[in-house]
Chain A
Amino acid sequence: MTVTFPQKGLPWLLLLPQLVVTAIFFLWPAEQALEQAFYQEDAFGLSREFVGLENFIDLFTDPLYYESMLTTLVFSFSVAIGGMSVALLLAVMADRIIRGKLTYQTLLIWPYAVAPALAGVLWWILFDPSMGPIALWLDNIGIDWNHYLNGNQAMILVVIAATWKQISYNFLFFLAGLQAVPRSLIEAASIDGASPFKRFWTIVFPLLSPTTFFLLVVNLVYAFFETFGVIDATTKGGPGQSTTTLVYKVFDDGFVGLDLGGSAAQSVILMAIVGLMTVIQFRFIERKVQYS
């Protein structure tokens, strides 16, 4: 039990800045979104009328919304699983190495610091249909690459850019997880004649499962909410709707399409999703603390 100070007014003073900022820039807008979701507004913002659940009904009867949900799921799981697999492979290799581990780590972690929008631009020029070296090489081996026209290819481009940025994060956590695996277990297996490959799948990988699960949640959150820049700077959600994730759609419908009610309704749904994911993340982390 921590010893405390007796002052009664002081703590409120200390909390004031955080509470004021939270109230003005978080709670108020959230409340506005909640309210707006039940209104229909004309494009000039001059008048609005209460429409009840109509915005939500519109949303859930709109095939484009389901399409966007599917896009989000495909995008998020591709980013999460792609990034984690590459990072795990690299981390396992780095864990084996005795000298030079830190150098490898340095050379692998810097993409974390690159803004998502910049990551998008960097990969865009590699894949630009008219001049990008990778696109031209793909043409040579018979794949006609044009992410301006082909929705699947646009998706591949944003997945690669978003994954590239996240590998460093996964790598660090996997490496830490691997270093926590007790050496004695691996030694014992080795004496019993298990090959490195078998040791990895039967001992190391199962012991890594808390890290893996944690990273899965973090990566999904990342792909859901923090990849706006990648999409906005490269494909702008297109071609058609093929890279319009839910978060991009909130922005697109609100600022480009000026459908404020619809955008607000989507905001409300997204808030519910973030809430759910935060709870999952926290419950899991609590458990990790308990059993470790």
Chain B
Amino acid sequence: MIENRPWLTFASHATLLVGIGLVALPVWMALVASTHPASAFGAGHIPLWFGDAGGQTWGNVLFEKAGNGVDTPVFWMMLNSLIMALGITFGKIAISLLSAYAIVFFRFPFRNLCFWIIFMTLMLPVEVRIVPTYEVIANLGLLNSYTGLTLPLIASATATFLFRQCFLSMPGELVEAARIDGAGPWRFFFDILLPLSRTNIAALFVILFIYGWNQYLWPLLITTDDAYYTLVMSIKRMLSVTDGDIAWNQIMATTLLAMLPPVAVVIGMQKLFVKGLVDSEK
């Protein structure tokens, strides 16, 4: 504190509270909307305070069907989302750890070329090469499958860079000592490198889980079978019914359920989340 200015401190708190209020506003509205029967909407207004149909809507959406043309219950789509998110997260971490290990601790021809090939994936987000990637997946027969949902997204330049950075900062004596003690490359990897990278892996896990869970365009394109719908993309299918028939209460309940897991991860693991965010931008 440089100086004591009570008014300024008061203004700071007030601004922050207003900011928090504005940020939370849409979620509040969604929560309220999900507690009213579908007939409460479209009458020229949205109810502004909680109704009493919440339990029923949430129960229906979670265990029977999400509604609005999507017959799969939310818990099933949640499971799909979870499989996709974890598949992408573990996949990315595993292959990036291995490639960073190869690039940092071995010398071999075309080492730099490999590095640049991995680097190039940064420049090719799915959104940009959407049509040909779809064709590749269709050719490989991976439409409507968990492999199709996860595999194409697990190459990761960001994670490789992060682990490379982390490995480069480890003292060379470590490898030397390990080698003198007779440890081979695998033993070194599992007994020394992995334990030392634990926090980095955890931080990256949080970021990648959010990334995986929130995938939208990709699942939208390659899943046409209800059984493989993920939660986030199902919203789009739910919104595609003709205008007048949208049951907003069900959509809002589904939306809230779809954002709940990643939001819980951010709040519950705030420290790791912030670390992951900062690390992955370096």
Query: How many angstroms from the CA of A228 to the CA of B251 in the assembled complex?
Result: 20
Q: Interface residues of A: mostly helix, strand, loop or mixed?
A: helix
**Chain-B contact segment, one of A58-66, A70-78, A248-256:** A248-256
Q: Which residues of B contact A208 (CB under 8 A)?
A: none
**Is A4's beta carbon under 8 Å from chain B?**
yes
Contact A255 to B114, CB < 8 A, known contacts A97-B12, A117-B236: no
Inside 8 A of A133's CB, which chain B residues have their CB?
29, 45-46, 48
Question: Does B225 interact with chain A (Cβ within 8 Å)?
Answer: no
Q: CA of A169 to CA of B277 in the docked complex: distance in angstroms?
A: 8
User: Number of residue pairs across A and B with beta carbons under 8 Å?
Assistant: 296
Q: Is the CB of A15 within 8 A of B104?
A: no
CB distance from A280 to the nearest CB of B (A): 12
A44 to B8, CA, bound (A): 66
Q: Is A46 interfacial (CB 8 A cutoff)?
A: no
Are the CB atoms of B117 and A29 closer together than 8 Å? Answer: no
**Interchain CB contact under 8 A, B255 and A12:** no
Among B56-64, B71-79, B171-179, the stretch in contact with A: B171-179
Q: Are B26 and A4 in contact (CB under 8 A)?
A: no
Q: Are B232 and A115 in contact (CB under 8 A)?
A: yes
Q: Mark A211-225, 1 if CB is under 8 A from B, else 0.
A: 000100010000001
CB of B224 within 8 Å of the partner chain: no
The answer to whether the Cβ of B197 comes within 8 Å of any Cβ in the partner chain is: no
How far apart are B95's CB and chain A's nearest CB, in angstroms?
4
A5 within 8 A of B: yes
Question: For A123, what are the chain B residues with a Cβ–Cβ distance below 8 Å?
Answer: 26
Q: Which residues of B contact A190 (CB under 8 A)?
A: 2-3
Instruction: Return chain B residues, CB-CB under 8 Å to A90.
Output: 15-16, 19
Q: Find chain A residues with CB under 8 A from B33 CB.
A: 125
Instruction: For B210, list chain A residues within 8 Å (CB).
Output: 112-113
Partner of B123, one of A122, A254, A278: A278
CB distance from B54 to the nearest CB of A (A): 16
Residues of A near B175 (CB, < 8 A) are 2-5
Q: How far, in angstroms, from A97 to B10 measured CA to CA in the complex?
A: 10
Check if A36 is an interface residue, CB within 8 A of chain B. Answer: yes
* A167 surroundings in chain B (CB, below 8 A): 23
Contacts of B241 in A (CB 8 A): none
Q: Which of A97, A172, A186, A254 contacts B9 (CB 8 A)?
A: A97
Q: Which residues of B contact A228 (CB under 8 A)?
A: 127, 216-217
B195 interface residue per 8 A CB criterion: no
A213 and B101 alpha carbons, distance in the complex (Å): 32
Cα A214 to Cα B278 with chains together (Å): 12
Task: List the A side residues contacting B140 at CB < 8 Å.
Answer: 24
**Which residues of chain A (103-128) have a CB below 8 Å from chain B?**
104-119, 121-123, 125-126, 128
Q: Can you name the residue of chain B whose Cβ is closest to the Cβ of A123?
A: B26
Q: Which residue of B lies closest to A33 (CB)?
A: B132
**In the assembled complex, which residues on chain A have CB atoms less than 8 Å from the CB atom of B125?**
225-226, 274
Q: Are A112 and B266 in contact (CB under 8 A)?
A: yes
What bracket does the count of chain B residues touching chain A fall in?
35 or more
Cβ-defined contact, A29 with B127, below 8 A = no
Q: Check B282 against A285 for contact (C-beta < 8 Å).
A: yes
Residues of chain B within 8 A (CB-CB) of A69 are none
Chain A window 84-114, contacts with chain B (Cβ cutoff 8 Å), 1 for yes, 0 for no? 0010011001101110001011111111111
Question: Within 8 Å CB of A25, what residues of B?
Answer: 133, 136, 151-153, 155
**Does the CB pair A267–B130 fall under 8 Å?**
yes
A residues whose Cβ falls under 8 Å from a Cβ of B? 1-5, 7-8, 10-12, 14-15, 17-19, 21-22, 24-30, 32-33, 36, 86, 89-90, 93-94, 96-98, 102, 104-119, 121-123, 125-126, 128, 130-133, 136, 164, 167-169, 172-173, 176, 183, 186-187, 190, 196, 214, 218, 225-226, 228-229, 232-233, 247, 250-251, 254-255, 260, 263-264, 267, 270-271, 274-275, 278, 285
Sample of 20 A–B contacts (CB below 8 Å): A2-B104, A2-B175, A4-B105, A7-B185, A10-B102, A15-B99, A21-B154, A22-B121, A36-B132, A110-B266, A114-B259, A118-B258, A121-B239, A126-B29, A136-B44, A190-B2, A196-B8, A251-B130, A274-B123, A285-B281
Which positions in B face A, CB cutoff 8 Å?
A: 1-3, 5, 8-9, 11-13, 15-16, 19-20, 23-27, 29-30, 33, 41-46, 48, 94-96, 98-99, 101-108, 111, 114, 117-118, 120-125, 127-136, 140, 151-155, 160, 167-168, 170, 172-173, 175-176, 179, 185, 188, 210, 213-214, 216-217, 220-221, 232-233, 235-236, 239, 248, 251-252, 255, 258-259, 262-263, 265-267, 270, 273-274, 277-278, 281-282
